[in-house]
Structures are given as C-alpha cells and as structure tokens.
Structure 1
Amino acid sequence: MDKASVTKVCIDDFAMKKRYTYGTVMVDIESKNIIDILDSRDLEDVAKWLKTYPNLKIISRDGSITYASAIREAHPNAIQVNDRFHLLKNLIDYCKSHITKTINFKIPIEQLVNNDDKIKKPLTKMNKEDRIKEVQKLNKDGFSPHQISEALKMDIRTVKKYIEFVINEVSSIVKDVPQLKHEETVSKKEKSINEVRKLHEQGHTIRAISRETGLARKTIQRYLDPNVLVVHAAYGTQRNSILTPFHSLIDELLEKGFTFKEIEENIREKGYSGSASTIRMYTTRKRRLIKQILQSAKSRKETVDRQHLIKLLYKPLEKVKEISLEQLKAVLEKNPILSEIYDIVKSFKEILSNKDPDRLDNWIEKAKSLNLPDVNKFIKGITRDIDSVRNSITYTYSNGLAEGSVNKIKVIKRIMYGRCNFETLRRKVLTFEKLRKTN
C-alpha cells in the first residue's frame, strides 16, 4: 500500500483482551477500508505509527487525550476532528448523571385539574369490558396512559394493553387471567391426548409412545381411555373457609370501628369456632384495603417517573408518550434546573446540526453559569480539546467508519478464537479488506 497517498483517516481503539491489552485501527475516510491496525494505544507507539503515514491532513477520533497528543506529535499541522456522536453522548450522560443524583425516582405533583372533571374514579363493580372501553374513551379524549393509570388506579401496562384492543373485538378478548391459563392448559392437554391416540392408531406400543412424547406410561393409558376428561373435575369449584359465612359481619364491624378483639368476641358468639389467626389475617387485609381506598380518596397527588424525564434528554416531548406537557410543566415548576438542562442539551444539538461553531463560546458560558458539577466536567473536557470540537462542528467527518470497523475486528477475533495472535489477526483483517476492495 502507498502510505503517502493516505490523507484522511479516522482512528479508534479496540480490545485485544478486554481491560488488559488494546489495539488501534485506522480507516481511510475516502475508500472506507481498514488501512492498518496497531497492537497498542499508547501515546509513543501511536505517534510512531502515525509518522509512517507522511501526508495525513485530517484525522477523526473520539475524545481520547492520548490520541490527540499522539496526532499533535506525529502531524502537528493535521486537522483533528472530534466525533459528534461521542460529544453529544457525553453531554447527555453527564446530564443524566446529575438528574439521577438530584431527583427522586418518582416525583409527586399536584393532580391535574382536568382529571377530576373528565376521568371517572374506578368502579368496584365495573367489569373488564367496561374498563377497556373507559380506558379507550379517555385515551381518545387526549389523556396520557399515565394519567389514565393514576385516575383509574390501574397498572400502566394494563392501560397500554387496553388501549391497543380493537373495540369490536373487546368482548371476545375479555377473559380473566385464570380463565386464560385454564384454556391454555386444556388446549395443551387436548393436543397431548390427540397425539397419543394417533400414535396408538398407527400401531405404536405404550412404551414406544412414552419414548416419543415423554409422557409417563400411566398417563398414556389414561389418555387412551375414551372416558378421560380434558377439563379437571375440580375446575370451577371453590372451597369455602370456616370464616366465609362471617365475612359480611366482619366488614360491617370494621366499618363501625370495632377492634380485632371485639370482632373476635362478636363472631364467636355467633358460632365461629376457628382460630384467631384466620380472623386476624382477614381483618388485616380488609383494613389495609380500606386504608388504601381512604388515602386514594383524600390524595390530590400523582407521580411522574424520573426515567421519563431522562428520556426527554434523547427525544422531544411529543415522542415520549408516558408524560404530558401539563405533567412536565408541573415537574419543571418544582425543579427549574431541569428546564436549564433540557435547554443546553437542545441548543448543543442545534449547534452540531446547523454547523454553527460561532455559537459554541456562548453555549459554554451559559452551561458554566448553571454551576452543575457533572456539566462542568463536560465543559472542562471540551475546553481542553476545543479545536477538535470546533472542527467536529465545521466538518462533516465522523468516527462512524472506525466504530464499524471495530465491530468487524471483533467478529474476526471470535472466529479466530484460540489461535488469534496479533500478527495473524492483522494479516486476516487486511486480507479481508483487500478482497472487499477488489470485489
């Protein structure tokens, strides 16, 4: 290869043995081929390696200070371009770190006013079909899944599932979880019975059928009986406990504020002869339920998950369905610094996409004024490497080719597992690149 003809490259490191030994890959930006790989990422070795390519004009890299120093030593006049993806990722990671450290996992906010006007409270006697229709109606009215979940006291996953149901198919879909499990069990058993009988009709012995299906021979004999029941005889029956006849009385006494001891004395007078622990378990569960109902009736709060606020660092609000504009405003009112964080991330994205390096200095000053330790670390990093950061905004070059080549090298390493010394790996990688180029 004519090394003097190479002028624009991107470089990146890769692991020979993770956390122990690393190498460096060089990719030609114009031909998009791997030019060379080095069994080191140390400053002296990389600088010496780069000097063997005398005419390098543009070198794209990640934020590594070692690579920056090696390039300056080998080619002081070369243009270094920092990778835009890594810049943005680092900023978002630092902002995410600050949010995680300073904001609780769930942020309580005042319940939105329009929830009281339009969203009904859960009805204890509402059947599943009615709940699905209620969820879909509220979703159509513009309420987010989280608002519906809070108002109807339903799990967010259930709300999302109900939203996806087709209205005219709701009736056929509505089934309780135990019923669905029962139907699945019956279907599986029916399939096994049919398979056993079919094999028996084909002349297979019980022993052979057992080997084929993995079923016990006694089970096979039972399945061959024409009177065998697919549905278990006990299905649909429910055993009552000794306390069951007194449930309504206990509920009534609890509502009147009777203590556990008073409830026990009362129902024993009525003929209860069971243990006190059975009464205690039932009354404890019932009291907990009553307490939850009272709390939900008095509560004027709803919560926003921190993970949804973190998603807003990556996506605009309209693409994060779990949080509404009203909820976001309520959170920002309590945590105004969040608004500043979103603003600096958004403006940095605009600087990168609009190719406007002149705005970078103002952005740095604004980000510094927030005085956030995590953001200050990012500012310190880009200030130390400011020329390459400006070049990343000005030029279109990126480190994507090197990142993709690292993945390719990893695949080749795995194929060569057990016989992969560096020289063999280097020859194989460069041979593949030569074949790809000729094809």
Structure 2
Amino acid sequence: MGLPRFGGSPALCVEPACGTGQGSRLPVKRLQSKMTSLYSIPGCHVERVARRGSAQARLTVRSESVGAQCPSCKSRSTAPHSTYVRHPTDLPCAGRPVQLELRVRRFYCRNPECSRRTFTEPVSRLLAARARRTRRLATAQCAVGMTAGAEAGARLLKPLAMPASPDTLLRLMHRAPRPAEKKPRVLGVDDWALRKGRTYGSILVDLEAHRVVDVLPDRSAPTVSQWLQRHRGVQVITRDRSSEYARAAQAGAPKAQQVADRWHLLLNGRQMVERWLTGAHARLRALPCVPKSSASPRPRRSSFPRTRSEVSAGEESRTRRLATYQEVRRRHLAGEPLLTIRRALKLARETVRKYALAEAFPERAVRRPGPSLLDPYLEHLARRQAEGCENALLLWRELRAKGYPGSSRQVHRWLQTRRAAPARSTPRARRDNRSTPTEACANSLPSPRQLAWLCVQPLSALSPTDKALLVRIEQDEEAAHVIALARRFTQLVRERGITHAAKPNPSCKAFEAWLREACTCGVRAVETFAAGLEQEGEAIRAALTTPWSNAQVEGQVTRLKFLKRQMYGRASFDLLRRRVLLAV
C-alpha cells in the first residue's frame, strides 16, 4: 500500500518509542533516519516503502549526494537536468524479495571544454552499470553458487527469496574476482584426478594459511616449476614420492627444502613387502602351521559349500589365469620389458608385475568368511555333533530356543560337510561324491596384500591369530629378515624424533643404519626400495626431522573431489578452479 504524505514529502505511520497515542506521526527526517538504519542502502536514503502484490516489497530510494562529478572532465556539477528510474533487485527483507525504485539524476556539465553536455550521477557503490541486481545481492547469490553449485544453488535461492536461474549463477561465478595472491612460505603439492586414469591435475596448498593457493591443469614438472618461478619465496615443499614433483621443485625452487610425505613412505614400505610376498607366496604356503597354545574353540574357517556351477566357473577362471601367468613368465624370461608385455597381452601393470615376479603360479587366497548368524552357536553345534546328533531340524529347534533368528537352511548347510554318514534324504548319485571337510583352509595363507598389512603393523595391534600367522611365515629365514626390516622402517617413520637443527637427530642415525643394512640384505625387492630412498635422501631425512607433511593437502584434495562431483562432471576446469579458490 502507498505511504501517506506530509507537505508533499513521503512518510510512514510509525509508533513512537514512548507512545503519545495511536494517531501520532514521526517527522520525515526522523522517519528516513529510522528506515536507513533498518534497511541500509549504500549511498542512498529511503523515501518510500510500498508492497507490491502479496510477497514483494518496493523501496523508493534516492542518492544522498547533492551533486555529482563528470566522468570526463572530473568537474563537479549541481545543475540538475532530468531524472529517470531504475528497478534493480536487492537483498530480501523479512523473507520477502525487495525491489528498489532508484531515482537517478542527470546533471549538466558546466565545463565548456568538456565533450559531455550531460551525465548521470554514479551509484557504483550500490549498483553496476546496466545491472538488474545490486552488488550485494550478486555477491550473496555468487557465494551460494560457489558453495552448492549452479543447479543446487538455484533451488536453494528460491526459498531464500533471492531467486536466480542456474545460468545466471554460472555467469556470476565466472565473473567473480579471484582472491589476492599471497606468496606461501610452506607449500604442499599433490595430484588429483579430473578423470581417473586419464587426466590429472595438481593442487597447491599453503600449509601455514590452511588454504588452497592454486589448481593446475596437469601434474607435469614444467607446469609446476613455472608456477614456482612466478611465485618466489617458497622455502619448504612437501610432496609425495613422485619424480615429476621432485624435478619441478628442483627446477622452480632449487633453494627450497623438499619434504617427503610420511604416509606415502609407509605406503611404499607396505608395497615393497607385498611385492616380495607375491613372489614367495607359494613357498610360504607350504610351511607347516604353528600349533596354538590356547584352547579356545576354533572359529569357522570356510564359507558354506559352493554349488557345482560355482566350482566349475572357478576352475575355468583358474585355467585362464594360469595360461596368462605362463605367457607372462615366458616373455619376461625372454627379456621383454614389462611395459611391452602389458601392451601385448592388454593386462594391468600391477598384474604383469605380479606374474613376472612370482616364483610359482599365485593362487587366489581363500577368503576368510564374514560374520554369520550361526557364529554365536558354533560351540553348541560342535558339541551336539560330537554327541552323535546329526538331525539338522532338531539342532535348528534347539538353536531357536536359545534365540537363533535364522532359518534351518543355514544349519543344514553347516552340517552338510560334517556328517559321519550321508543323510537319508541324500540322493544315491551324490552319496559317493559327498565332499568332506579338509584342512586346506586351515593351512592356507591370506593374500600377499593382507599379509603385507600384518607385517608392517605394530605387534601390540595384532590379534593372537595374526601373531601365530606371522610366526608361521617367519619360519622362512628370508621372510623373517624382510619382515624385521619392514617393521623397523615403519617404526622409524611413525616414532620420528623432531629435535633442534643444531642437535643430532636419532631418527637420522637410525635411518642411515637401516639404509645400509637394507641395501646389502640380498633381497631384490628390499634393495630396490632402499635404493629409491637413497636417491631422495634429503627429502626422507626432512620427513623424519620436520613437522611438515602432506596430510593437509590430502584433505584439500578430498574437498576438491566433493566440489567436482557436485557438478556431475559437466563443469569446465576454469569453473572448478574458481570454486576451489572461492568456496567457503
């Protein structure tokens, strides 16, 4: 509704602070002052407030300045020429969208030497030229778009009374200015996948300011080194063990101290043990089991019996893998490079490496069964079977009385391979082919990856079963030596001692002793790993003596992936880079 006027000037009906009656009115100047404090508009004052429809508010505003400065000759003028009205949208108020009725004046330029006859008074603090929204509304909409994305941001802005289309948000996001660049002193570098397996980029993080400095379109050494040359002053660079980043740091910031990431050191140590176990797995599998001292009941070691189709499918898969293994070994012994074998046979790089280093065909490890509803009742089932009860339905009824929630089929399958004699319902054709429980599962070993994980864990974190497994493996002299070296290395990285630079660091001395022993241990996988550590010895020593690491960079990579997936893979690299740098 319109506002009542007093003497030709607009005003509002407002109750005073100390009431003097319902009909009391506030003077125009006091009213304008209160409206300005309630809804502040940069460089303007509110003249009139009206409601447009049922959901929108309209504010009539005017510039506070008396005159204006000519944009050409810079001379000030107070001679009005005319006025016109602009209708930009502003920030909402009380959950309602707000539209301004901005009365803009034109002034005469009284400078005879100026080429302009008239000019418009500037309102740059509030509004850009030819803009349909105020600067602060555009800033708020852009912030929502940077945080949630264009499509989600458009859906979010509608209930916030700041509606905008996804295309409008994209334009605002592309026009948003980048933050002022600051020269980082401690820089973290890591790669991230724009398209996993094909396209990778680099992320640069200021570890002291805890913010992303820049995002690069690739992870090559020239790109990173050029960035470092443009941003002088980097004193510490943390990285993974990538040779590309090492060359980039050496070329772009040769005086900076490189620090290898400790998590990647632990990862590479476990991978070294896994590579050795892949070749020696067949030999270790033949080692005898170590008897357990505890008298606890044996856990379930195998899953339920597989069907005939599953067995035949497994045999066919093993035949194919065996043929591939033999072909890889033949080519490798003939001197073909692993990369050539991978391209010829169209295999994964790790598969070719595993088959080439394996002394015997690497059988698939038997999977440990997952938790089952029968696990809490295994002891009761074993005792009743030892007493001679082989009636599955009777056993199921007993378990149900104890609270077993499963069906009788699980009990039938458990009892199937443990019967002393075939059940009456077993067909005659299958009585002679009935499978019997074997100790193959008991004598089997976990996969090389699982074993490598156990080998690098502290002994205090292992269960009695895992400790017995390691004792069985350490019956092999070479295995005992490799496991001891791996455990010493991981303990050295985990329990590093940060001391003053002037004092000798015990971690460095222990590392040097470990490096000398590893380089002459006689195990190829360990010697290769130690030679790689020796090549970047300064970065490894810095990792053991300084507090810096790439842990913060990994967190920023996780944030970058989250923003990338918000855009469903359809955004350009430039937009993703802006969101990473500007998103709150």
TM-score (norm: length of structure 2): 0.45
User: Compared with structure 1, are the counterparts of its residues 69 and 91 closer, same or farther at alpha carbon in structure 2 (3 Å cutoff)?
Assistant: same
In structure 1, distance between residues paired with 2:370 and 2:556: 43
Of residues 90-99 and 156-165 in structure 1, the stretch that sits farther from structure 2 once superposed is 156-165
Report the Cα offset of residue 85 of structure 1. 0.5
Counterpart of 1:310 in 2: which secondary structure? helix
Higher helix share: 1
After superposition, the Cα gap between the structure-2 partners of 1:69 and 1:342, relative to the gap in structure 1 and judged at 3 Å, is: same
Q: What is residue 413 of structure 1 aligned with on the other side?
A: 564
Post-superposition offset of 1:407: 1.7
Alignment match of 1:83 (pick from 239, 258, 261): 261
2:426 aligned with 1:426 = no
Is 1:315 aligned with 2:457?
yes
- What is the alpha-carbon distance in structure 1 between the residues aligned to residue 535 and residue 211 of structure 2? 31
Q: 1:285 and 2:408 equivalent?
A: no
CA contact (8 A) 2:270 2:453 kept: no
Structure ID, larger Rg: 2
Contact 2:459–2:467 (8 Å) recurs in 1: yes
Report what 2:470 is aligned to. Answer: 328
Q: How big is each residue's C-alpha offset from its partner over 1:202-232, in whole Å with a ceiling of 9 and x where there is no partner? A: xxxxxxxxxxxxxxxxxxxxxxxxxxxxxxx
Q: Distance in 1 between matches of 2:433 and 2:569?
A: 61
Name the counterpart of 1:340. Answer: 481
Pairwise mapping of residues 387-402 of structure 1 onto structure 2 (< 5 A)?
Answer: 387-402=538-553
Q: Which amino acid aligns with 1:337?
A: E
Residue 425 and residue 112 in structure 1: after superposition, are their counterparts in 2 closer, same or farther (change >3 A)? closer
Give runs of aligned pairs for residues 10-25 of structure 1, distance below 5 A.
10-25=188-203
**Counterpart for residue 173 of structure 1:** 403
Superposition map of 1:20-419 within 5 A: 20-104=198-282, 107-110=285-288, 138-139=295-296, 145=299, 157=369, 164=376, 171-174=401-404, 177-178=407-408, 281-282=429-430, 284-285=432-433, 289=436, 303-307=443-447, 309-321=451-463, 323=465, 325-333=467-475, 335-352=476-493, 353-355=495-497, 356-417=507-568, 419=570
Contact 1:105 1:305 in 2 (8 A): no
> In the superposition, relative to structure 1, how do residues 421 and 156 fare at CA in structure 2: closer, same or farther (>3 Å)?
closer
Tell me, in whole angstroms, the C-alpha distance in 2 between the residues paired with 1:40 and 1:61: 15
Q: 3-state DSSP class of the match of 1:323?
A: helix
CA distance in 2, matches of 1:54, 1:159: 57
> What is the aligned length?
303
Contact 1:3–1:53 under 8 Å retained in 2? no
Deviates more, 1:368-377 or 1:100-109: 100-109
Contact 2:237 2:259 in 1 (8 A): yes
Q: Report the AA paired with residue 415 of structure 1.
A: Q
Contact 2:201 2:219 in 1 (8 A): yes
Looking at structure 1, the residues matched to 252 and 402 of structure 2 have their Cα atoms a distance apart, in angstroms, of 72
- Map Cα deviations across residues 62-111 of structure 1 (whole Å, 9 max, x no partner): 11111111111121111111101001101111111111221139735546
Q: 1:382 to 1:336 in 2, by over 3 A?
A: same
8 A contact 1:3–1:54 mirrored in 2: no
- The separation in 2 between residues aligned to 1:38 and 1:159, in whole angstroms, is 46
Unaligned runs of 5+ in 1: 119-137, 183-242, 248-277
Rounded Cα–Cα distance in structure 1 between residues aligned with 2:559 and 2:249: 24
Which amino acid counterpart does residue 351 of structure 1 have in structure 2?
Answer: L
- Where relative contact order (Cα < 8 A, 6+ residues apart) is larger, the structure is 1
Q: Residue 9 and residue 165 in structure 1: after superposition, are their counterparts in 2 closer, same or farther (change >3 A)? A: farther
Instruction: Classify 1:174/1:361 alpha carbon distance in 2 versus 1 (closer, same or farther; 3 Å).
Output: same
Matched letter for residue 285 of structure 1:
N
**Structure 2 residue aligned with 1:6:** 184
Whether the 8 Å contact between 2:194 and 2:200 is mirrored in structure 1 is yes
Give the aligned CA root-mean-square deviation in angstroms: 3.9
Deviation, 1:3, is: 4.6
Deviation at 1:175, TM superposition (A): 7.5
Q: 1:320, CA displacement in angstroms?
A: 3.6
Distance 1:53 1:370, change over 3 A: same
After superposition, the Cα gap between the structure-2 partners of 1:421 and 1:108, relative to the gap in structure 1 and judged at 3 Å, is same
Contact kept? 2:271, 2:452, Cα under 8 Å: no
Partner SS for 2:522: coil
Which residue type is aligned with residue 19 of structure 1?
G
Cα separation, 2, equivalents of 1:37 and 1:114: 55
Shift of 1:342: 1.8
CA positional deviation for 1:60: 0.6
Secondary structure at the residue paired with 1:354? coil
Partner-residue secondary structure (3-state), 1:14: strand
What's the offset of the Cα at 1:45? 1.7
1:308-336 residue CA offsets vs partner (Å, 9 max, x unmatched) = 63332242345443725455334322x12
Gaps spanning 5+ residues in structure 2: where?
1-178, 303-366, 381-397, 413-422, 498-506
Deviation string 1:180-201 (CA, Å, 9 cap, x unpaired) is: 799xxxxxxxxxxxxxxxxxxx
Contact 1:106/1:306 (8 A) holds in 2: no
TM-score, length of structure 1 as denominator length: 0.59
Offset at 1:16? 2.3
